[in-house]
Amino acid sequence: MITSLNHIGIAVRDLEISKALYQKIFEVKDFHTEIVEEQMVQVASFKVGNVLVELTAPTSPESAIAKFLEKRGEGIHHIAFGTNNIGNELTRLNDVGIQLINSEAREGAHEMLIAFLHPKSTGGVLMELCEPK
């Protein structure tokens, strides 16, 4: 079952410049930063209320974020929803005709299992499901 809004992913070219901007806007004291090797990205995140804002920069020109930035520039990349059973949700969504980018969960930031739903079947919005490992 989808249980919550987990985070908003924002694609950025330069993580340090973007961190400085968001620090001004939201008065962020500390960012959680990590590299997600499998996704070829580095993230810096912070909370606004109960929702994470995740600034995501490519670590390789081959990453999905790098390709997104080439086509669309910086901005909102995806909206992530928490689930208590990502495997069941992927099966359910596939069964009701939602196109999946990932048919199985993968490793993501914040020690989460993640999977993306294709925006062609979600009204043009890239959606991510995430579940704590």
Mean pLDDT of the region 38-50: 96
Span 2-132 CATH architecture? Roll (3.10)
Helical H segments across 48-126, by residue range:
64-72, 86-95
- Boundaries of every domain in the chain: 2-132
Element (H, E) at 24: helix 15-26
The average confidence (pLDDT) of the chain is 97
Under 8 Å between Cβ of 45 and 55: yes
Q: How many Cβ atoms from other residues are within 10 Å of residue 130's Cβ?
A: 21
Q: For residue 69, what pLDDT is reported? A: 98
Interstrand relation of 32-36 and 41-48 (parallel, antiparallel or unpaired)? antiparallel
pLDDT in tens, 75-124: 999 999 999 999 999 999 999 999 999 999 999 999 999 999 999 999 99
